[in-house]
Structure 1
Amino acid sequence: MALSESLWQQAAQLEQAQQLLVQVAENLGSYQGQDWTDEISASRRSVQSAQLSINAGIEAHIEDDQCIHDWLLQSLANAAASSLVDGALVERIGRLLPDAVWIKRHAAPNEDADFVDRHRHALLIGKGSRIQCDSLTLGLMVMAPDVRYPFHHHPPREFYIVLSEGEWYQEGCGWFRPGPGGLVYNPQSILHAVQSGTGPFLALWGLMHT
């Protein structure tokens, strides 16, 4: 009985992941001239399996980080209430959050460590998460007000679906504000950064590994 229930939970989790990827593809459309629908569809096909254990909820992951938890709930509520943000996308994110793996990035030797305890990433799909996907890592980033996530770069291409106010930096473009519902694309290995404003920050990000 317990095994059957676990398998049912696993199937339900994978279905939620599939539906979230559908919403991601719809939001990206043909942004930056790329066929995101085909790329995300490939990622949907590569979603393989989830762990059988289902965690109790968000609090079980970030119970020692009450402020982060509060900022998460506030920013999710703001996104859901915004006419500029895709409500279906926010709903799909919310359904996967209870089983997300929460991580934080540590500061490099040359970086201000102030950001470390004031941000978190919820890994939803792909590397480090409970749902395997070789072509895409999908996560939710939450930050406290007045935090700058350091300048950095990485080989995978990256997109953001913006769910709150915030500022992005991209090499060659400088700082800009896409606004809630906006999109950001970071080409391979380009220098970039992000910072929150006077309110909490929320964005869905994806790293494309192909």
Structure 2
Amino acid sequence: MSVAIIRYNAGNIRSVVNALRRLGVDPVLTDDADELRRADKVLFPGQGEARTAMDYLREHHLDEVIKNLTQPVLGICIGQQLLCRHSEEGDTDCLGIIPADVRKFEPSRHEDKVPAMGWQEINGSKGCPLFNGLDGENQTSSSRPYVYFVHSYYVPLCKWTIAQADYILPYSAALHMNNFWATQFHPEKSGKVGEHILKNFLEL
């Protein structure tokens, strides 16, 4: 199986490469359109700023490449946000693949910190293949669905939400539309639970 990671001006790519290698997959990190189209699975991870990221994608024509991918694609963190329609970060028009908007957290209590950083429990949709083995009777104390987040912006709950988390307000921890999957959390930093989610994605 061939796996490609989209190379663009975003951080935290190396940890995704290492997480996939622990699963026995040696991904290619590339911004080449043909390599991305040929891959069996594509990951779109990263940490960064929405406008800067979108400017890079458009300048290198990766925006149209991503929109037209037909294999399973997994956006991670800012990758999830960029798959959406618009972000309040920099008033940025994003890829528009998932017709949802990205909003900034507005703390409502003194103890609310932004960016939201740390481990949170997620509630995944039953029967969703991305979360197979993490819910219901298959859940164990050592594999509870707690995952790691670092973000100041979020996607509100919507019809494409497949998992939700709750920080300041309930929001989309993961999205799915057609062949595009996305997580606001970092599966590559989420221990065994994150490893399981990545494995599920590779098996789609």
TM-score (structure 1 length as normaliser): 0.31
TM-score (structure 2 length as normaliser): 0.31
Instruction: Compare the two structures and name the one with the higher helix fraction.
Output: 1
Q: Which has the larger radius of gyration?
A: 1
